[in-house]
Amino acid sequence: MSSQDRSTAVWFITGCSTGLGRALAQRVLEHGHRAVVTARRADQISDIVADYAKTALAIALDVNDHVQVDAAIAQAAEKFGGIDVLVNNAGYGYLAAVEEGDEQEIRDMFETNFFSLAALIRKVLPGMRTHGSGHIINISSVGGMVGAASSGFYNATKFAVEGLTEALAKEVEPLGIRVTAIEPGPFRTDWAGRSLKQAEHPINAYADTAAARRAQITGYSGRQAGDPVRAADAIIKVVESDEPPHNLILGKNGLDRVRAKLAALMQSIDDWEEVTLSADYPDA
- Is the CB of residue 94 less than 8 Å from the CB of residue 141? no
Measure the CA–CA gap between 102 and 160, rounded to whole angstroms: 19
Nearby residues of 185 by Cβ (< 8 Å), 6 or more positions away: 142, 225, 226, 249, 250, 251, 252, 253, 254, 255, 257
Check 17, 150, 158, 206 and give the catalytic one: 158
Bridge pairing between strands 34-39 and 10-13: parallel
- Is the CB of residue 125 less than 8 Å from the CB of residue 179? no
- Paired strand residues for 187: 226
Is residue 154 part of the annotated active site? The answer reads yes
Read off φ and ψ for residue 243, nearest 5 degrees: -135, 75
- Is the CB of residue 97 less than 8 Å from the CB of residue 58? no
Q: What is the DSSP letter of 187?
A: B
- Is the CB of residue 139 less than 8 Å from the CB of residue 13? no
Measure the CA–CA gap between 206 and 149, rounded to whole angstroms: 9
- Paired strand residues for 249: 183
- Is the CB of residue 113 less than 8 Å from the CB of residue 75? no
Is residue 206 part of the annotated active site? The answer reads no
Check 52, 94, 154, 206 and give the catalytic one: 154
Tell me which amino acid residue 33 is: H
- Maximum distance among all Cα pairs of the chain, rounded to whole angstroms: 69
Check 140, 141, 150, 151 and give the catalytic one: 140
Measure the CA–CA gap between 1 and 86, rounded to whole angstroms: 13
Is residue 261 part of the annotated active site? The answer reads no
- Supply the residues annotated as catalytic: 140, 154, 158
